[in-house]
């Protein structure tokens, strides 16, 4: 049996009332991006579901691409048949015949959105169930835990039949919850923080602090590769690369060593916030994880966070490292993150950074030098790259509609 369409059920977006159109639009955009390698498909977005019309493209491959899209609750390959009892019987039978393995059980699950159809749900059950029992020797009915669940949906235009229900990624479509700036280092944590925030519908732009010649081009490439991975989710992503050498060297000269980490973080945050304003983002995301290193104690966060009142999202704050690593592996960023290239912070890291820095002290140390003009210069010299994923055929987007 050739499936001719793939049914996409929306996740939480169905509950979002007035915002529904926006959610459906964003989801449609994500689907269009993910399915760019399948130029013949067509997408039909409706209020409460979406269909991908297969048009001869490879169904399992399309399903694989759909599985990673945020905002999709479940996916079912389906066939559309005329509103006619004989057509429905034949299609259901051949679908079950194809999936059936010896000893398996089945069940018919009819749903009649259009009540004018000549059979009621009971009638559909009997007609289709009887036909399957009569034609597939050995098959049995099991209404509680069937191996094959034949879903029949009777709508006013046609009948849809599907037997498989594949779990989607859940979450909300990217772009439906506004935009935030991700502070992206080359480490394990920040890409995971970005991924989890995107899963809640937030579009991200990344900001990376780069200190040549102390950090090499290879470490910049590493960050670009991480950005490429995240860009797969939304089709493209901006990466702002901030030249940070002058500031780090000045910190080293002007700030007592045990406060240099605190100041570094404060300036990073200030610069990210300036870029955020320009780009009209609403929040900043970091990969901070409570207690992991000196800059991630509550006292440190209290001292660092002072420089802005922009919301800072820290999706990993309370997670265990093992769980973070698991996600990093799942989303394919782990192997990139563990490439052994230095980060701007590790190079300048003091031997014993304060784990309990004081706001008053760091303010005083910073007040002896005009860091503001360095910050403005770094923002001005920031280079912005538009990162596209490696594997997508971006140029074909426009042909899809």
User: In the complex, which residues of this chain contact ligand ATP (CB under 6 A)?
Assistant: 183-185, 187-190, 207-209, 286-288, 292-293, 295-296, 343-345
Residue 127 or 300: the one with the smaller Cβ distance to ligand ATP is 300
Residue 288 or 366: the one with the smaller Cβ distance to ligand ATP is 288
User: Of 381, 45, 340, 346, nearest to 240 (Cα)?
Assistant: 381
| CA distance linking residue 389 with residue 392, whole number of Å | 6
Minimum distance of ligand ATP from residue 328's CB (angstroms): 9
DSSP string, 139-192: -EE-SSS-SEEEEEEE-SS-EEEE---EEEEESB-TTTT-EEEEE--SSSHHHH
Please, where are the H alpha helices in 35-146?
A: 59-66, 85-99, 121-135
Minimum distance of ligand ATP from residue 43's CB (angstroms): 35
| Contact residues for Mg ion, defined by CB under 5 A | 185, 187
Minimum distance of ligand ATP from residue 27's CB (angstroms): 28
Residue 71 or 353: the one with the smaller Cβ distance to ligand ATP is 353
Q: Tell me which of Mg ion, ligand ATP, none is bound by residue 293, counting a contact when its beta carbon lies within the kind-specific cut-off of 5 to 8 angstroms.
A: ligand ATP
Q: Tell me which of Mg ion, ligand ATP, none is bound by residue 288, counting a contact when its beta carbon lies within the kind-specific cut-off of 5 to 8 angstroms.
A: ligand ATP
Residue 14 or 346: the one with the smaller Cβ distance to ligand ATP is 346
Residue 162 or 272: the one with the smaller Cβ distance to ligand ATP is 272
CB 252 within 8 A of CB 260: yes
Q: Tell me which of Mg ion, ligand ATP, none is bound by residue 247, counting a contact when its beta carbon lies within the kind-specific cut-off of 5 to 8 angstroms.
A: none
Q: Tell me which of Mg ion, ligand ATP, none is bound by residue 188, counting a contact when its beta carbon lies within the kind-specific cut-off of 5 to 8 angstroms.
A: ligand ATP
Minimum distance of ligand ATP from residue 288's CB (angstroms): 5
| CA distance linking residue 354 with residue 220, whole number of Å | 28
Q: Tell me which of Mg ion, ligand ATP, none is bound by residue 203, counting a contact when its beta carbon lies within the kind-specific cut-off of 5 to 8 angstroms.
A: none
Name the 3-class secondary structure at 101.
Answer: coil
Determine phi and psi for 161, rounding to 5 degrees: -125, 130
Task: Kindly tell me the burial class for residue 46, based on how many C-beta atoms sit within 10 Å of its own C-beta (0-12, 13-18, 19 or more).
Answer: exposed
Cis peptide before 213 (omega within 30 of 0): yes
Closest residue to ligand ATP: CB criterion? 187
Q: Tell me which of Mg ion, ligand ATP, none is bound by residue 295, counting a contact when its beta carbon lies within the kind-specific cut-off of 5 to 8 angstroms.
A: ligand ATP
């Amino acid at each position: 049996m050739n499936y001719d369409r793939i049914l996409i059920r929306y996740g939480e977006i169905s509950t979002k009332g007035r915002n529904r159109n926006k959610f459906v639009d964003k989801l449609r955009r994500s689907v269009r991006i993910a399915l760019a390698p399948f130029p013949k498909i067509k997408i039909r977005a409706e209020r409460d579901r979406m269909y991908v019309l297969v048009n001869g493209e490879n169904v399992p491959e399309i399903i694989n691409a759909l599985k990673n899209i945020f905002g999709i609750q479940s996916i079912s390959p389906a066939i559309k048949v005329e509103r006619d009892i004989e057509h429905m019987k034949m299609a259901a039978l051949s679908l079950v015949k194809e999936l059936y393995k010896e000893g398996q059980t089945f069940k018919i699950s009819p749903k009649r959105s259009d009540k004018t159809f000549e059979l009621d749900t009971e009638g559909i059950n009997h007609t289709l169930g009887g036909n399957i029992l009569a034609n597939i020797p050995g098959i049995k009915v099991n209404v509680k835990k069937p191996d094959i669940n034949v879903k029949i949906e009777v709508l006013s235009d046609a009948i849809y039949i599907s037997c498989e229900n594949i779990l989607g990624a859940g979450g909300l479509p990217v772009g439906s919850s506004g935009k935030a700036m991700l502070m992206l280092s080359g480490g394990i944590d920040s890409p995971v923080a970005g991924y989890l925030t995107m899963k809640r519908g937030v579009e991200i732009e990344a900001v990376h602090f780069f200190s040549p010649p102390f950090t090499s081009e290879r470490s910049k490439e590493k960050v670009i590769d991480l950005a490429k991975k995240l860009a797969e989710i939304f089709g493209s992503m901006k990466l702002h690369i901030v030249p940070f050498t002058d500031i780090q060297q000045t910190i080293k000269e002007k700030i007592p060593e045990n406060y240099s980490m605190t100041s570094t973080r404060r300036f990073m945050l200030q610069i990210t916030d300036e870029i955020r304003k320009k780009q009209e983002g609403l929040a900043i995301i970091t990969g901070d994880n409570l207690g992991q290193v000196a800059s991630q104690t509550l006292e440190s966060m209290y001292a660092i966070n002072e420089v802005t009142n922009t919301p800072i999202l820290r999706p990993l704050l309370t997670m265990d490292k093992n769980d973070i690593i698991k996600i990093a592996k799942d989303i394919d960023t782990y192997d990139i993150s563990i490439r052994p290239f230095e980060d701007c912070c590790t190079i300048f890291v003091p031997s014993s950074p304060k784990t309990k820095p004081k706001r008053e002290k760091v303010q005083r140390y910073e007040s002896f030098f005009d860091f503001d003009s360095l910050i403005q210069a770094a923002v001005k010299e920031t280079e912005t790259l538009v990162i596209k994923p490696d594997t997508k055929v971006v140029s074909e987007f426009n042909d899809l509609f």
